[in-house]
Amino acid sequence: MPATIIDGAALAAEVKRDAKRRVQELTAAGRPVHLTAILVGSTAAGELYASRQAEACRAAGISYDLLPLPAETSFAEVAGTIRCLNNEPSVTGIMLHLPLPPHLDATEVQYLIDPVKDVEGVNPANIGYVVYGHTLIAPCTAQATIELIRSTGVTIRGAEAVVVGASEIVGKPVALLLAEQMATVTLCHIATRDLKLHTQRADILVVAVGKAGLITADHVKEGAVIIDIGINRVTLPDGTKKTVGDVDFEAVRQKVAYITPVPGGVGPMTVAMLLKNTLRSAELGLKR
Ligand code: NAD
């Protein structure tokens, strides 16, 4: 029987509904939730992403403002801006659009965001809290992955979990969160010698590489849960363009128990997690 397709959009809608209800309660209590996004150097893609984000925040009752800074802004100026936002009580959450212009180091800048206001969970301190099992705010895509796995009802504790892709922002945090849930975790990357050897024994397989067709039916175990994080634009034989993940969806779904589609899986859930984190930042701020 083909796999159950995990409906990320429907699950995201539920998360957004819950977040909206709580945001309304906070607002009514005189504690509005406010996200400030910093965009250094304007690009069409950056502006588009920011406008979508603004819309998602508005729909959840979160006030949002975009702080555009010129591409040539120095590190000291960006740092000064972040320090002001850290100290501004009406700003409950801060996020930084990537990529930054080449003269700015993303990690150095992210390190400056107050961990409590760090709605993307990208400050190294927040990754550290995950390692020590005291998660404050986890990276959005990694959290989305865990929520999607949980939605299947499959037990994470004791499961063989294989994560393909080991970036700081996606693969490694996913592996850490799975380990926190007591899965037995293998983290594969470009230097992994025999990828199939690992993926074939995965009860839970998470793929975050950015290579269409990397995972075929041969790579997966029957009955597995597959979370496809990859996003690739491919050109079909008829010349039309299509967005696909890293997994050969049609072939793999015949063999596994659950699979996320691309689009409509991890993507919408990641946006929902950003809103959930923004709410969490505001609530953590109240405890100070
Ligand atoms: P990245 O380029 O930073 O990291 C890619 C990782 O894949 C690296 O660890 C690399 O070692 C590994 N890799 C490369 N080739 C491999 C191979 N042949 N076998 C095994 N491992 C290999 O990418 P990233 O930022 O982690 O993003 C990964 C993908 O996830 C991209 O397609 C990106 O667009 C997508 N993404 C999706 C969302 C979402 O919300 N759905 C969010 C973030 C990233």
Kindly give the distance from the C-alpha atom of residue 136 to the centroid of ligand 1, in angstroms, as a whole number: 24
Average predicted confidence (pLDDT) for the chain: 96
DSSP3 helix / strand / coil % (the chain, rounded to 5) = 40, 20, 40
Query: Cβ(256)–Cβ(234) under 8 Å?
Result: no
Domain ranges of the chain: 31-115, 139-267
Kindly give the distance from the C-alpha atom of residue 241 to the centroid of ligand 1, in angstroms, as a whole number: 20
| pLDDT exceeds cutoff 90 at 166 | yes
Q: pLDDT grade, residue 138 (50/70/90)?
A: very high
| pLDDT exceeds cutoff 90 at 1 | no
Ligand 1: which of 189, 207, 216 to mutate, judged by most atoms within 8 Å of the beta carbon? 189
pLDDT at 42: 85
Neighbours of 199 (CB within 10 A): 24
In whole angstroms, give the CA distance from residue 112 to residue 42.
21
Kindly give the distance from the C-alpha atom of residue 171 to the centroid of ligand 1, in angstroms, as a whole number: 7
Give the mean pLDDT of 132-148.
Answer: 95
Which atom of ligand 1 lies closest to the CA of 171? 26
Q: Return the DSSP state at 218.
A: G
Superfamily of domain covering 139-267: NAD(P)-binding Rossmann-like Domain (3.40.50.720)
Pocket of ligand 1 (CB under 6 A): 141, 164-167, 169-171, 188-190, 192, 195, 208-211, 214, 229-231, 266-267, 270
pLDDT at 288: 85
pLDDT at 84: 98
Kindly give the distance from the C-alpha atom of residue 121 to the centroid of ligand 1, in angstroms, as a whole number: 18
Torsion of CA 20, 126, 173, 193, to 10 degrees: 160
Q: Determine the length of the chain.
A: 288
Q: pLDDT grade, residue 34 (50/70/90)?
A: very high
Ligand 1: which of 167, 187, 219 to mutate, judged by most atoms within 8 Å of the beta carbon? 167
208, burial (CB in 10 Å: exposed 0-12, middle 13-18, buried 19+):
buried
pLDDT at 11: 98
Q: Which residue has its alpha carbon closest to ligand 1 atom 42? A: 141
pLDDT tens digits along 47-105: 888 898 999 999 999 999 999 999 999 999 999 999 999 999 999 999 999 999 999 99
Q: Which residue has its alpha carbon closest to ligand 1 atom 15? A: 190
Please check whether the two domains, 31-115 and 139-267, share a CATH topology.
Answer: yes
Give the mean pLDDT of 173-192.
Answer: 97
In whole angstroms, give the CA distance from residue 275 to residue 119.
8
Kindly give the distance from the C-alpha atom of residue 222 to the centroid of ligand 1, in angstroms, as a whole number: 24
Residue given tokens 């950056």 in the structure block: 46
Pairing assessment for the beta strands 184-188 and 160-164 based on DSSP bridges: parallel
Closest CA to 220 of 247, 180, 188, 186: 247
Which option is the CATH number for 31-115: 3.40.50.1220, 3.40.50.300, 3.40.50.10860, 3.90.230.10?
3.40.50.10860
pLDDT-above-70 percentage for the chain: 100
| pLDDT exceeds cutoff 90 at 43 | no
pTM: 0.96
Ligand 1: which of 120, 143, 190, 195 to mutate, judged by most atoms within 8 Å of the beta carbon? 190
pLDDT-above-90 percentage for the chain: 95
What tokens appear for 149 in the block? 């796995």
Kindly give the distance from the C-alpha atom of residue 9 to the centroid of ligand 1, in angstroms, as a whole number: 21
In whole angstroms, give the CA distance from residue 201 to residue 254.
17
pLDDT at 49: 86
In whole angstroms, give the CA distance from residue 120 to residue 224.
29
Query: Cβ(139)–Cβ(131) under 8 Å?
Result: no
Kindly give the distance from the C-alpha atom of residue 107 to the centroid of ligand 1, in angstroms, as a whole number: 18
Kindly give the distance from the C-alpha atom of residue 33 to the centroid of ligand 1, in angstroms, as a whole number: 32
What tokens appear for 178 in the block? 């799975």
Residue given tokens 């990641």 in the structure block: 270
